[in-house]
Amino acid sequence: MASTAGRPSRVAKLPPRERILDAAEELFQREGIRRVGVQAIAERAETTKMAIYRHFDTKDALVAEWLRIVAADYQAAFDRVEAEHPGCPREQILGLARFIAEGLPAVSYRGCPFINSLAELPDRSHPARQVIEQHKALQMRRLIGMCAAAGLPDPEQAAAEITFVLEGAQVSTQNGSVDRAGERLLRIVAAIVDRRTAETAGR
């Protein structure tokens, strides 16, 4: 094996704040929020605790920022399906289901970051929990909007059903209780949309 002495690590090439967030994500996902201390994050990021506190006032603030980034990735999926299927809300909804289905393999061994974090954050005033709740509320509003645009007779009910399926698939994948979860998820969401579209057409 060739020696790596004297070579800068990949971690060290990143800006300090990005190194800290990358290290926090890896450790929080693998070990949980409560079990990971600031010192462990500093060591993984090849920096110091003092440097972390220059960027984040508290560990809670770091957790909240990590979850904001995760939430932004999910909101970007909404933006992406809207751009890929302009004026086609049914395809947008199925695109969201596909995004979740494609992410299930990672959920199977890492778990959903939101589900995992909520289990560790019972205090609803915690800044990171507030990030999750705000993200979920926005996600529901956007999905209701898609269902309304698709002409579904009860957009809120349809969005609730779809949300139950999307989130249930993640939990079932995480605990290994359902096989072919991604395939089943896509079929169920399509059936919800098409059944409710047929109900509207039959009126």
pLDDT in tens, 48-100: 999 999 999 999 999 999 999 999 999 999 999 999 999 999 999 999 999 99
Enter the pTM of the model. Answer: 0.84
pLDDT at 2: 33
> What is the C-alpha to C-alpha distance for residues 62 and 39, in angstroms, rounded to an integer?
13
Domain that holds residue 27: 10-56
Work out whether the CA dihedral 10, 58, 26, 128 comes out positive or negative: negative
pLDDT at 201: 62
What's the longest Cα–Cα distance across the chain? 74
Contacts of 101 (CB under 8 A, 6+ apart): 169, 181, 182, 183, 185, 186
Predicted confidence band of residue 112 (pLDDT cuts 50, 70, 90): confident
Hey, how many other C-beta atoms are within 10 angstroms of the C-beta on 157? 14
- Spatial contact of 32 and 119, defined as CB atoms under 8 Å apart: no
The CATH number of whichever domain residue 133 belongs to comes to 1.10.357.10
pLDDT in tens, 121-162: 999 999 999 999 999 999 999 999 999 999 999 999 999 999
Q: Which of 19, 39, 56 marks a domain boundary? A: 56
Please indicate, yes or no, whether residues 161 and 92 belong to a single structural domain of this protein. Answer: yes
1 belongs to a structural domain: no
Question: Looking at the chain, how many residues does it have?
Answer: 203
- Which residue's structure tokens are 């979860």? 181
Please indicate, yes or no, whether residues 75 and 144 belong to a single structural domain of this protein. Answer: yes
Percentage of the residues of the chain whose pLDDT score is greater than 70: 90
